[in-house]
Amino acid sequence: MVAEKIPSWIERLLLPRLSNIDGELKAINTRIDSTNEKIDSTNERIDSLRNETKTEITRIDEKIISLRNEMKSEFVGLNYRFEAIDTKLDSLEKRIPVIEEITALKIRIAEMEKKLAMA
Protein backbone atom coordinates (compact mmCIF):
# COMPACT_ATOMS: atom_id res chain seq x y z
CA MET A 1 0.00 0.00 0.00
CA VAL A 2 2.79 2.40 0.74
CA ALA A 3 4.19 1.77 -2.73
CA GLU A 4 0.88 2.80 -4.33
CA LYS A 5 0.67 6.01 -2.29
CA ILE A 6 4.20 7.17 -3.10
CA PRO A 7 3.61 7.53 -6.85
CA SER A 8 0.39 9.51 -6.33
CA TRP A 9 2.11 11.69 -3.76
CA ILE A 10 5.03 12.27 -6.16
CA GLU A 11 2.54 12.90 -8.94
CA ARG A 12 0.64 15.52 -6.91
CA LEU A 13 3.87 17.20 -5.90
CA LEU A 14 5.70 17.04 -9.22
CA LEU A 15 2.90 17.60 -11.77
CA PRO A 16 2.40 21.30 -10.91
CA ARG A 17 6.14 21.84 -11.01
CA LEU A 18 6.47 19.94 -14.28
CA SER A 19 3.63 21.98 -15.77
CA ASN A 20 5.35 25.14 -14.60
CA ILE A 21 8.66 23.97 -16.10
CA ASP A 22 6.85 23.04 -19.33
CA GLY A 23 5.37 26.57 -19.51
CA GLU A 24 8.78 28.11 -18.88
CA LEU A 25 10.34 25.94 -21.60
CA LYS A 26 7.66 27.03 -24.06
CA ALA A 27 8.34 30.68 -23.17
CA ILE A 28 12.08 30.09 -23.62
CA ASN A 29 11.45 28.44 -27.00
CA THR A 30 9.31 31.40 -28.03
CA ARG A 31 12.10 33.81 -27.06
CA ILE A 32 14.65 31.65 -28.90
CA ASP A 33 12.45 31.65 -32.01
CA SER A 34 12.07 35.43 -31.75
CA THR A 35 15.83 35.82 -31.33
CA ASN A 36 16.44 33.54 -34.33
CA GLU A 37 14.07 35.67 -36.41
CA LYS A 38 15.94 38.81 -35.34
CA ILE A 39 19.25 37.16 -36.20
CA ASP A 40 17.91 36.11 -39.61
CA SER A 41 16.64 39.64 -40.22
CA THR A 42 20.00 41.08 -39.16
CA ASN A 43 21.83 38.63 -41.43
CA GLU A 44 19.63 39.68 -44.33
CA ARG A 45 20.42 43.34 -43.65
CA ILE A 46 24.13 42.54 -43.39
CA ASP A 47 23.98 40.64 -46.70
CA SER A 48 22.16 43.55 -48.29
CA LEU A 49 24.77 46.02 -47.00
CA ARG A 50 27.56 43.72 -48.15
CA ASN A 51 26.06 43.61 -51.65
CA GLU A 52 25.58 47.37 -51.71
CA THR A 53 29.18 47.84 -50.56
CA LYS A 54 30.47 45.46 -53.23
CA THR A 55 28.46 47.32 -55.86
CA GLU A 56 29.79 50.67 -54.65
CA ILE A 57 33.37 49.40 -54.58
CA THR A 58 32.97 48.04 -58.12
CA ARG A 59 31.60 51.41 -59.25
CA ILE A 60 34.51 53.25 -57.60
CA ASP A 61 37.00 50.82 -59.18
CA GLU A 62 35.47 51.52 -62.59
CA LYS A 63 35.79 55.27 -61.99
CA ILE A 64 39.42 54.85 -60.94
CA ILE A 65 40.17 52.81 -64.06
CA SER A 66 38.44 55.45 -66.20
CA LEU A 67 40.42 58.26 -64.54
CA ARG A 68 43.64 56.29 -64.94
CA ASN A 69 42.93 55.86 -68.65
CA GLU A 70 42.15 59.56 -69.00
CA MET A 71 45.41 60.44 -67.23
CA LYS A 72 47.37 58.10 -69.52
CA SER A 73 45.75 59.77 -72.51
CA GLU A 74 46.61 63.21 -71.14
CA PHE A 75 50.22 62.17 -70.54
CA VAL A 76 50.48 60.86 -74.10
CA GLY A 77 49.13 64.21 -75.33
CA LEU A 78 51.58 66.08 -73.13
CA ASN A 79 54.39 63.91 -74.40
CA TYR A 80 53.58 64.90 -77.99
CA ARG A 81 53.44 68.56 -76.95
CA PHE A 82 56.81 68.29 -75.20
CA GLU A 83 58.28 66.69 -78.30
CA ALA A 84 56.94 69.59 -80.39
CA ILE A 85 58.42 72.10 -77.95
CA ASP A 86 61.75 70.25 -78.02
CA THR A 87 61.73 70.39 -81.81
CA LYS A 88 61.05 74.14 -81.76
CA LEU A 89 63.78 74.70 -79.17
CA ASP A 90 66.22 72.70 -81.27
CA SER A 91 65.30 74.83 -84.27
CA LEU A 92 65.84 78.03 -82.25
CA GLU A 93 69.15 76.77 -80.91
CA LYS A 94 70.31 76.20 -84.47
CA ARG A 95 69.25 79.73 -85.46
CA ILE A 96 70.95 81.53 -82.54
CA PRO A 97 74.53 81.18 -83.90
CA VAL A 98 73.36 82.40 -87.30
CA ILE A 99 71.62 85.39 -85.68
CA GLU A 100 74.75 86.13 -83.65
CA GLU A 101 76.88 86.01 -86.79
CA ILE A 102 74.47 88.29 -88.65
CA THR A 103 74.51 90.73 -85.71
CA ALA A 104 78.33 90.68 -85.66
CA LEU A 105 78.38 91.33 -89.42
CA LYS A 106 75.95 94.23 -89.03
CA ILE A 107 78.19 95.74 -86.35
CA ARG A 108 81.25 95.39 -88.62
CA ILE A 109 79.39 96.91 -91.54
CA ALA A 110 78.31 99.82 -89.33
CA GLU A 111 81.92 100.31 -88.19
CA MET A 112 83.15 100.16 -91.79
CA GLU A 113 80.55 102.66 -92.87
CA LYS A 114 81.70 105.02 -90.07
CA LYS A 115 85.33 104.63 -91.18
CA LEU A 116 84.41 105.24 -94.80
CA ALA A 117 82.35 108.27 -93.85
CA MET A 118 85.28 109.74 -91.91
CA ALA A 119 87.74 109.16 -94.64
Across 87-109, average pLDDT: 87
Which residues span the domain enclosing 45? 1-89
**Quick one: pLDDT at residue 5?**
62
What is the reported pLDDT for 81?
83
Q: How far apart are CA 101 and CA 117, in angstroms?
A: 24
What's the angle, vertex CA 8, arms to CA 4 and CA 10, rounded to 5? 115
63 is a domain residue? yes
The amino acid present at 99, given as its one-letter code, is I
* CA atoms of 7 and 5, how far apart (whole Å): 6
In a domain, 111, yes or no: no
Evaluate whether residue 27 is within a structural domain: yes
With respect to residue 117, please indicate whether it lies within any of the assigned structural domains: no
Give the confidence band of 100 by pLDDT, cuts at 50, 70, 90: confident
Please state, rounded to an integer, the average pLDDT across all residues of the chain: 87
Question: Domain total for the chain?
Answer: 1
The band of 6, judged by pLDDT with boundaries at 50, 70 and 90, is low
The answer to whether position 102 is within a domain reads no
Please tell me the distance from the alpha carbon of residue 67 to that of residue 59, in angstroms, as a whole number: 12
The verdict on residue 49 lying in a domain is yes
**pLDDT computed for residue 50 by the predictor:** 96
Q: What DSSP letter does each residue of 67-105 carry, written as one string?
A: HHHHHHHHHHHHHHHHHHHHHHHHHHHHHHHHHHHHHHH
Q: How far apart are CA 75 and CA 81, in angstroms?
A: 10
Mean predicted confidence (pLDDT) in 85-107: 86
> Does residue 12 fall inside a structural domain?
yes
Band of pLDDT at residue 43, cut at 50, 70 and 90: very high
Asked if residue 4 belongs to a domain, the reply is yes
Give 94's pLDDT tier (boundaries 50, 70, 90): confident
